[in-house]
Structure 1
């Protein structure tokens, strides 16, 4: 069935779904490479793994290092990123209008990300989202993170909404796996970050969208099991 209204609650991944944060992360990686006497790496090299997290980005930036040495760099990577956060990143085209359309329809929206919560919260005031974002769950907010369903279930609980009445939008397979495990309809965001080997069709999301602008249309949304707006 096709939705005839926006979902009552939409939960979004952050990096690669709402926010094009790759420019911040390439600045972070190159600052660390420069400090170690290495030449800059290209954005195109890092971009596909941004949604995979800091360890995946460090594996690209310092591929010659053994895994245990890269692991030791994680705290420095996060500190460097914190100092640069928001300086180069921006919303994907069409996201601002999408959030406005949801709000005008009376829908609530929130963020469930694997980014550490303290870093995600730094972004909210930069975008004027402190009062607009109804819930924020980070990768370290709870005992589990995506692809475990707990973060999505907790976001729905905090919004006093059944998981099936929410829709989750994300650009990584773990997003879709988490949504399915939570009993939450999902949208795979193809405008985000993924490897050439990734097959979004295999993720079995309820909807696949190439651009945020597609979600301006009510009919593009999967039908939530309960309340819609």
Structure 2
């Protein structure tokens, strides 16, 4: 892997542990329907899959079902009403971002969250210093399409081939490969229904600071050569 000129991150499950608030929105809906709350452990793996994944996990309802769209709107409205009650950055993420800043590397966020939610959540998580923030509706396509990743590279003025993209979902790795970016699976995140070992990512890492160690080593090697 080439030394990165920029590092781009997924948001949910990569930089931020947002699953508690996403799961809470599902369980508010379940209580309204006289259903018991679903166990958090059941819902957490689907947090990076958005409304589609969480409604599927909480209600066994698929996007093709007639009731799905109404449930999706209800879920998103409920989530928006309590978007950061429990969400926070993963423990090592502040140290990772501080270390990247010390290397004078630009970093940004690419998420499938709609701007409605990204713009509300990012300031509450103290991620305003991101050099670019690409939401699921910033471009005509969301991940796994490469368009959001190309847009991030364009905004940074850096060729996509010189960017690393870090995410905790198969779609993140697929998008990175389609955009020609180096792909890094964030195994500390939610990871969905499949194991990162099956994603064919360029790297699988188990902690944010592991990523920082690799980036520092790459930059040290480049500066000394």
Same fold by TM-score greater than 0.5: yes
The 1:156/1:74 distance shift into structure 2, 3 A limit, reads same
After alignment, is 29-38 or 95-104 more displaced?
29-38
Cα separation, 2, equivalents of 1:57 and 1:222: 38
Partner of 1:44: 41
- Equivalent positions of 1:63-102 (< 5 A) are 63=60, 67-102=65-100
- Equivalent positions of 1:82-161 (< 5 A) are 82-130=80-128, 132-161=129-158
The 1:44/1:222 distance shift into structure 2, 3 A limit, reads farther
Partner of 1:203: 199
SS at match of 1:67: coil
1:17 equivalenced with 2:14 (yes/no): yes
Cα separation, 1, equivalents of 2:212 and 2:86: 26
1:214 equivalenced with 2:210 (yes/no): yes
| Alignment TM-score, normalising by the size of structure 2 | 0.90
Give the structure, 1 or 2, with the largest relative contact order (CA under 8 Å, sep 6 or more).
1
How far apart are residue 36 of structure 1 and its match? 1.8
- Quick check: 2:17–2:89 contact (8 Å CA) kept in 1? yes
1:34 equivalenced with 2:34 (yes/no): no
5+ residue gaps, structure 1: none
How far apart are residue 222 of structure 1 and its match? 7.8
- Quick check: 1:186–1:222 contact (8 Å CA) kept in 2? no
| Alignment TM-score, normalising by the size of structure 1 | 0.89
- Quick check: 1:62–1:70 contact (8 Å CA) kept in 2? no
The 1:221/1:22 distance shift into structure 2, 3 A limit, reads farther
- How many corresponding residue pairs? 220
How far apart are residue 220 of structure 1 and its match? 7.8
Backbone CA RMSD of aligned residues: 2.2
5+ residue gaps, structure 2: none
